[in-house]
Amino acid sequence: MHRSVLETAHAIATKYLDEVAQRHVGGSASPIELVEALGGSLPVGATDPMEVLQQLAIKADPGIVASAGPRYFGFVTGGAVPVTVGADWLGSAWDQNSCLYVMSPAIAVIEDIVSTWLLELLDLPRHASVGFVTGCHMANFTCLAAARHEVLRRAGWNVEAQGLQRAPRVRVLAGGEVHISAVGALRYLGFGTEEIEIIPADGQGRMRLDALEAALAKGTAGEPTILCAQAGNVSTGASDPIGAIADRAHAHGAWVHVDGAFGLWAALVPELRSQVAGIERADSWATDAHKWLNVPYDSGLAIVSSPAPHRAAMSMKASYLQRGTEEERAGMDWVPESSRRSRVLPIYALIKTLGREGLARLVSTNCALARRMADRLSSAGGVIILNDVVLNQVLVQFKDDITTSHVIAKVQAEGTCWAGGAFWQGKQAMRISVSNWSTTERDIDRSAEAILRCYRSV
Ligand SMILES: Cc1ncc(COP(=O)(O)O)c(C=O)c1O
C-alpha cells in the first residue's frame, strides 16, 4: 500500500516542481472558492488514499503560492534545494522523534554533527549549544529564555523554580527596528511590550551606538539586563554594529542576543562578513534555516554561547523520559518542544551537498541579484531605491505612496513575480527579498520588466 501512495505523492510533487518556475506566482483563488473546493461535510467512510492525494493537489492548486519558485520575492522566503526536500521526505518516512537519544540515535547524533558544522560555518564559539526549532521566532524565544535564566541567576534568582513575579527587575533593551518576533518572544517570557526600552535606529534601521551608550548609562551596575540586537533588518537587510554593541553592553553586564533570521548568514561570505563583525562576541543567536539556507519549512536554529543557561531554560524531567549517558544528546534539552520531527535532516543534506563554498555562493549570488534588481528598477524615472542594498533586500518607491500601493497590487495580480509592501520610515515601499537558490539573472530581468510594465500602466 505505501508504495503506490508514496509514488502518487512523488509524481504530484515532481510535476509541481517541474512547473513551479512557469506558474502564476501568487495564489489565485478566493477563500470561498478554496473552501468550496476543499471542504464539505466531515468524511464518515473511507476514500482511496491515492484519490485523496490527487484531489488535494487539484483542489489546493489555485491557493498554492509559488514561493518555492525563482521569482517569489515576498517577505524573506527561501525555496528548498532539491536534496533538502528529499531529506525531508526521508524524515517523514522514518518518522523519527528527535526528543531523546533512545527515540532516534541517528537523529540525536546528526543534531550534534550539524551543530558543530554550523558553529564552524558561522564562526561562533565552538562550545555553543544549538537547538533545532520551527523558526526564528521560536529561536528568539529559546535564546531569550536562556538570557532570562542567566541574568537572573547572576542576581541570585532561579527563575525556573521561583518564577518571575517576585524576581529582581530585568531591564530589556532593543533597537528601534526590533523584529516583532523578538518582541513576541519577550512577551511569552513575561516581559511586557511597554517594558522594552527602545534604542533609536539610524536611516537604515541599525541601532545607534550613541543612543545605546546613553541608555546603558542610565542603568545601575550589575542590574540584570538583556539587550536584543539584530543582524539583517527585515526591510533593509542592514545589521546592527553587533561587535561594538556587545562590547558596550558587556561592560554593563548585559546579555547580548542577536536576532539574525537571515542576516546572520552574511557571516558565510568573506566580503559580507564585516556586516556582522563581532557576532561571535554576543551571547545568543537566533536564525532561520528555512530562509537563506533554503530548506523546507519549518526550520530555525537557537544558538547559545554557553550550554548551561540554554539547558536550564529548556530542559524538563519526567520519570518516564529516561535518559542515557552524558554523551547521548537529548534534543528536548535545547528547544521548547518535547516531541519534534527530524528537521535537522534537510540541513545535514544541504551542508553535505553544497559545502561551505556552495553555501557562501548561495548567499553572495542572491545579494548580487538584489543589486541587479535595484539597478534595473531605478533606471526608470520616478523609481527610488529607499535603502542601501547591502544584502538581499530592496525597498522601492514608485513616485509616491499611492502609486507604489497600486504597483504592488498590479504586480501581484499579473503573476510574473510576487513582492509585498511595507512602510519604511514613513514611506510606502515595495519590499523585494532575493532569497531563493534557483533565482537567476534572467528571473531578475524578467521580473524587473514586469514590475516596470505595471508601474507604467498605473
Ligand atoms: C529579523 C527577523 N527575525 C525573526 C523573524 C521570524 O522568523 P520566522 O517567521 O521564521 O519564525 C523574521 C522573519 O522574517 C525576521 O526577519
**For residues 298 and 136, is the Cβ–Cβ distance under 8 A?**
no
pLDDT band (50, 70, 90) for residue 188 = very high
pLDDT on residue 108 = 98
Q: Which atom of ligand 1 is nearest to the CA of 234?
A: 16
pLDDT on residue 322 = 82
Chain centroid, CA 240 distance in Å: 17
Residue in 67, 132, 136, 433 to alter for ligand 1 test, most ligand atoms within 8 A of Cβ: 136
Tell me the domain boundaries of the chain: 2-66, 86-349
Report d(CA 355, CA 364) in Å as an integer.
14
Report d(CA 137, CA 302) in Å as an integer.
10
Task: Say yes or no: CB of residue 431 within 6 Å of ligand 1.
Answer: no
pLDDT on residue 372 = 98
Residue 82 has pLDDT above 90, yes or no: yes
pLDDT on residue 325 = 83
Task: Say yes or no: CB of residue 295 within 6 Å of ligand 1.
Answer: no
Kindly report the protein residue whose alpha carbon is nearest to atom 15 of ligand 1. 261
Rg (CA), the chain: 23
DSSP H or E segment with residue 185:
helix 180-188
Task: Say yes or no: CB of residue 234 within 6 Å of ligand 1.
Answer: yes
Report d(CA 68, CA 79) in Å as an integer.
4
Task: Say yes or no: CB of residue 136 within 6 Å of ligand 1.
Answer: yes
Q: Which three cell numbers stand for residue 227?
A: 539587550
Q: What is the pLDDT of residues 103-138, one digit of tens each?
A: 999 999 999 999 999 999 999 999 999 999 999 999
CA 165 to ligand 1 center in whole angstroms: 29
Q: What is the mean pLDDT of residues 376-400?
A: 98
Q: What is the pLDDT of residues 323-344, one digit of tens each?
A: 888 889 999 999 999 999 999 9
Residues linked to residue 384 through DSSP beta bridges, in sequence order: 397
pLDDT on residue 323 = 83
Q: Which atom of ligand 1 is nearest to the CA of 138?
A: 11
Report d(CA 195, CA 187) in Å as an integer.
10
Cis peptide before 401 (omega within 30 of 0): no
Task: Say yes or no: CB of residue 288 within 6 Å of ligand 1.
Answer: yes
Q: What is the mean pLDDT of residues 354-369?
A: 98
Could you list the beta-strand ranges (E) of 86-240. 129-133, 171-175, 196-199, 225-230
**Residue owning grid cell 563583525:** 277
Fold entry, domain 86-349? Aspartate Aminotransferase; domain 2 (3.40.640)
322/235: higher pLDDT: 235
CA 433 to ligand 1 center in whole angstroms: 13
Residue 317 has pLDDT above 90, yes or no: no
Q: What is the mean pLDDT of residues 420-448?
A: 98
DSSP H or E segment with residue 255:
strand 255-259
Kindly report the protein residue whose alpha carbon is nearest to atom 16 of ligand 1. 234
Task: Say yes or no: CB of residue 150 within 6 Å of ligand 1.
Answer: no
Q: What is the pLDDT of residues 42-71, one digit of tens each?
A: 999 999 999 999 999 999 999 999 999 999
Report d(CA 204, CA 154) in Å as an integer.
35
Task: Say yes or no: CB of residue 175 within 6 Å of ligand 1.
Answer: no
Task: Say yes or no: CB of residue 434 within 6 Å of ligand 1.
Answer: no
Residue 87 has pLDDT above 90, yes or no: yes
Residue in 76, 142, 181, 228 to alter for ligand 1 test, most ligand atoms within 8 A of Cβ: 181
Task: Say yes or no: CB of residue 26 within 6 Å of ligand 1.
Answer: no
Q: What is the mean pLDDT of residues 399-418?
A: 98
pLDDT on residue 324 = 80
Average pLDDT of every residue of the chain:
97
CA 136 to ligand 1 center in whole angstroms: 5
pLDDT band (50, 70, 90) for residue 208 = very high
CA 75 to ligand 1 center in whole angstroms: 9
**DSSP helix/strand/coil, 100:** coil
Q: What percent of the chain has pLDDT over 90?
A: 96
Q: What is the pLDDT of residues 138-151, one digit of tens each?
A: 999 999 999 999 99
pLDDT on residue 294 = 98
Q: Which three cell numbers stand for residue 66?
A: 509559488
CA 287 to ligand 1 center in whole angstroms: 8
Residue 268 has pLDDT above 90, yes or no: yes
117-124 long-range contacts (CB < 8 A, ≥24 apart) are 117/351, 118/301, 118/303, 118/347, 119/303, 121/267, 121/268, 121/351, 121/356, 121/359, 122/264, 122/265, 122/267, 122/268, 122/279, 122/285, 122/303, 123/267, 123/280, 124/279, 124/280, 124/285, 124/303, 124/305
Task: Say yes or no: CB of residue 257 within 6 Å of ligand 1.
Answer: no
Q: What is the mean pLDDT of residues 209-223?
A: 94
**DSSP helix/strand/coil, 64:** coil
Q: What is the pLDDT of residues 270-311, one digit of tens each?
A: 999 999 999 999 999 999 999 999 999 999 999 999 999 999
Task: Say yes or no: CB of residue 178 within 6 Å of ligand 1.
Answer: no
Q: Which atom of ligand 1 is nearest to the CA of 260?
A: 1
Task: Say yes or no: CB of residue 76 within 6 Å of ligand 1.
Answer: yes
